[in-house]
Structure 1
């Protein structure tokens, strides 16, 4: 039974319509594709100028005749309640609402209309099929975080069941945990691995120490898809060696969906069907293929919430061989996340701190930005930008979350600032270890 597709349709996502439209987009000839992009980006711009007061105010007194004159949006622009950013006719109950991971240090709640989200899933399904992966039938070994509060925990476990996947914890990357993970691969017919790069790399390092090749233990494996964090060449080689299956680099963002996906010949194909990817210089001028600049995304179908010329905070290069229909991501910089090492010797993925700090991320967006620095093995500093100082109750909640996800006995420092220091690329690194 195709539970995953059924669950999407049950929740109101028009998957059949989206699949038919997605296939039609794919069939557009190369020589007509630039016209398709121009028509869709103008259409989504005009829609939000007519139906979205937040976006109309953002572009007040700005000429929209030329696309390159459209101002750039950033996460800072979205730091206000979601209901103030929605288009006319859209509300929490008739769309897909979620929260960004905060990996850039600047999280926000966003929305997609259900048709747009259905197109997003068709994009994922299409790319996964390159490796003979079916989201309904292929069993996934998932290295992601999971909320530990009872209701949220069981909700995620139910979603895992619907999606035919088993979730491994990224909160505990100790040798004992890795041994348990390996035992599961011996008895479960996993077809692919998907998850945070740093956690999967730690598993590969354990396999290297134990002199184990994963595909020999679990012959049903077809590929490993890493996401959410940078995959460095040294780590890719390690994964290839210890897993002995194709290593696939997935680049995406929750608020826009899939951005780029490595195909079997090693080309990092950019999603040109449902989004527009631009590379801009520091003056917001479009750069030619082959030049390095900031990545800016336009969601061509999201009518619920404007994602138009939206700056992710990443730096990249589109290959000189790119075309409007087949853009290729040559280089991606950013999205790194250090590993957390604790006094007990336990290790955890840096993105663990998302699950801790989200306790202070509210829809009203009092906490605008945050970064965490590990000063000593037992001392962490949370530096945040907010209109209000964290209350003692909020700090207490963060301490509880730290004990739940990491371990007890850790010390926390809190510092409220007006602005956080950014890297040369303009991106914030959410977690940094000085240990």
Structure 2
């Protein structure tokens, strides 16, 4: 039974209708694809100019003339209540709503119309199919976080059941916990691993210490797909050695779609079917293939909410081998997270703080930016930029969440700043550890 497809259908996401649309785009010849991109870009701009007052206020012109004149959107533009940004005919009841992780330091709530979200899943399923993985039948070993509040926890567990996946904790990366993970691989017939890069690297390092190749204890494994954080070449080599399977690098953004996915030839293929990806310089000029610049992305199908020439906050390079129909991502700068080390000896993934900081990411847009620094084993500093200072009640909630996810007895410092320091690439690292740094 195709439980995953059924769950999409029951939630109003027309996956059956989305798949043939994706196939038709993929079957276009070179000239047909050029016409498709030009038409789709114009259609999505004109749609929002007609039906979205928020986008009209950003565009500051009465009509679309040519692509280079379309303004660049930033995450700061989106930090206002979602209801203000929805297109006419859409409400919170008939769209897909989610929050960005805040890994770039600029969190916000976003929406997709249901057909757009179905297309997102059609693309994801298509890419995983490159490695003979099927969301309806392949069993996933999932290294992701999970909300610890009762409602959120059981919602994710229910999704896990429908999606045929078993979720491993990223909140405890001690040898004892990783030993239990290994036991599970010995008894379960997993088809693939999926999850946070840093957590899966820790598991690979544990296997190296144990002198274990994972595929020898779990022969059904076909691939490992890592996401949400940078994948470095030495870590990839280690994982491939200790897992005995291909390691696939995924690049995505929850508010957009799957942006790029490595194929079996290790080429990082950009999603050109539902997204239009550009690399721009500091003056918003399009750079030629091979040059480094800002990653700016247009969602070609999202009618509920505009993401048009949207600066995602990453710096990247499209390979000189790229074509309009098959762009290749050569390099991406950003999305690295350190490991959290705690006084008890426990370790956790840096993205654990995504689940903690969700409690301060409010839809009213008060918190504009945030980052967390680990100053020593005991001390964490939460630095934030906001319209109003966090209340005592809000800080107490955050401390309680930290105790819930990590452990008690930690020293938490809150520091409000007018702005946060960014790296040369323009990224703001959500979590940084200063342990063992001199």
TM normalised by structure 2 equals 0.98
- What are the equivalent positions in structure 2 for 1:234-245 lying under 5 Å apart? 234-245=234-245
Q: How far apart, in 2, do the equivalents of 1:363 and 1:193 lie?
A: 33
Q: How far apart, in 1, do the equivalents of 2:197 and 2:151 lie?
A: 27
| Shift in Å, 1:385 | 0.7
Report if aligned partners of 2:380, 2:413 keep a CA contact under 8 Å in 1: yes
Match of 2:155 in 1: 155
Comparing 97-106 with 185-194, which one deviates more in the overlay?
97-106
Q: How far apart, in 1, do the equivalents of 2:69 and 2:371 lie?
A: 32
Q: How far apart, in 2, do the equivalents of 1:151 and 1:260 lie?
A: 32
Match of 2:274 in 1: 274
Match of 1:308 in 2: 308
Structure 1 pair 231/143, CA: closer, same or farther in 2 (3 Å)? same
Q: How far apart, in 1, do the equivalents of 2:75 and 2:30 lie?
A: 33
Report if aligned partners of 2:95, 2:113 keep a CA contact under 8 Å in 1: yes
Report if aligned partners of 1:74, 1:312 keep a CA contact under 8 Å in 2: yes
Number of positions where the alignment pairs a residue of Structure 1 with one of Structure 2: 435
The answer to whether the aligner puts 1:432 opposite 2:406 as a matched pair is no
The answer to whether the aligner puts 1:397 opposite 2:397 as a matched pair is yes
1:224 match: secondary structure: strand
Q: How far apart, in 2, do the equivalents of 1:69 and 1:383 lie?
A: 36
Q: How far apart, in 2, do the equivalents of 1:46 and 1:165 lie?
A: 41
- What are the equivalent positions in structure 2 for 1:105-144 lying under 5 Å apart? 105-144=105-144
- What are the equivalent positions in structure 2 for 1:61-140 lying under 5 Å apart? 61=61, 64-140=64-140
2:375 match: secondary structure: strand
Q: How far apart, in 1, do the equivalents of 2:323 and 2:281 lie?
A: 20
The answer to whether the aligner puts 1:252 opposite 2:220 as a matched pair is no
Question: Residue by residue, what CA displacement relative to the aligned partner does 1:154-204 show, whole Å, maximum 9, x if unpaired?
Answer: 111001101110000101111000000000000000000000000000000
Structure 1 pair 62/172, CA: closer, same or farther in 2 (3 Å)? farther
Question: Residue by residue, what CA displacement relative to the aligned partner does 1:344-365 show, whole Å, maximum 9, x if unpaired?
Answer: 1111110111111111111111
| Shift in Å, 1:32 | 2.1
1:316 match: secondary structure: strand
Report if aligned partners of 1:275, 1:298 keep a CA contact under 8 Å in 2: yes
| Shift in Å, 1:421 | 1.1
Q: How far apart, in 1, do the equivalents of 2:108 and 2:276 lie?
A: 21
Q: How far apart, in 2, do the equivalents of 1:228 and 1:188 lie?
A: 25
| Shift in Å, 1:64 | 3.5
Match of 1:215 in 2: 215
- What's the C-alpha RMSD, in Å, of the aligned pairs? 0.9
Runs of at least 5 residues in structure 1 that lack an aligned partner in the other structure: none
Report if aligned partners of 1:63, 1:69 keep a CA contact under 8 Å in 2: no
Match of 1:33 in 2: 33
Question: Residue by residue, what CA displacement relative to the aligned partner does 1:21-44 show, whole Å, maximum 9, x if unpaired?
Answer: 111111111232122111100100
Question: Residue by residue, what CA displacement relative to the aligned partner does 1:239-275 show, whole Å, maximum 9, x if unpaired?
Answer: 0100010100000000001000000111111000000
| Shift in Å, 1:61 | 4.0
Displaced runs of 4+ in structure 1, greater than 4 A? none
Report if aligned partners of 1:198, 1:229 keep a CA contact under 8 Å in 2: yes
TM normalised by structure 1 equals 0.99
Q: How far apart, in 1, do the equivalents of 2:64 and 2:338 lie?
A: 42
Report if aligned partners of 1:194, 1:225 keep a CA contact under 8 Å in 2: yes
